[in-house]
Amino acid sequence: MVKALTPISRPASLTEVCGRYIHTAIIGGGLDKLIDNSGAGWATVEDAATAMMHIVSDQKIDGRALAIVPRSWKDGSNGYIDLEQDDFKEGSWMHEAQENVFKPFKLAAQQQ
């Protein structure tokens, strides 16, 4: 539960940090091996921290989602990407990212 320490005078929105591909203890049940075998790659905790610093230091960022991604991914050279688009058009970064996200699960389905 989160409580506001002061009254909110305007509508508020949240900025989300999406760190699905950070190799931590929460990734279990063989998912880490699936990700390793798929070649999707891993993001780093340090890149997640950099994204958080970006959020807190840039007042223009409001109500966005930042994906923490492996630096090898398209447009992921700094370890995170602002997910600005909602439509996953073929050839777009989001379309490619979505394909990368599902690689381990597709690989697991093929192995069954």
Q: Give the residue numbers spanning the domain of 76.
A: 16-111
- Amino acid (1-letter code) at residue 21: Y
63 within some domain = yes
83: confidence class by pLDDT, cuts 50, 70, 90? confident
71 within some domain = yes
pLDDT of residue 13: 52
> Residue 50 and residue 43: Cα distance in Å, rounded?
12
Residue 15 has pLDDT above 70, yes or no: no
pLDDT of residue 44: 92
| Closest C-alpha among 34, 47, 18, 55 to residue 103 | 34
Token pair belonging to 55: 């959020």
10 within some domain = no
List all residues 6 or more positions away from 55 whose beta carbon is below 8 Å from its beta carbon.
15, 17, 61, 66
Q: What are 18-61's pLDDT values in tens digits?
A: 777 888 888 878 888 888 888 888 999 999 999 888 888 887 77
91 within some domain = yes
Token pair belonging to 11: 């509508």
Mean pLDDT of the chain: 77
69 within some domain = yes
pTM above 0.95, yes or no: no
Into how many domains does the chain fold? 1
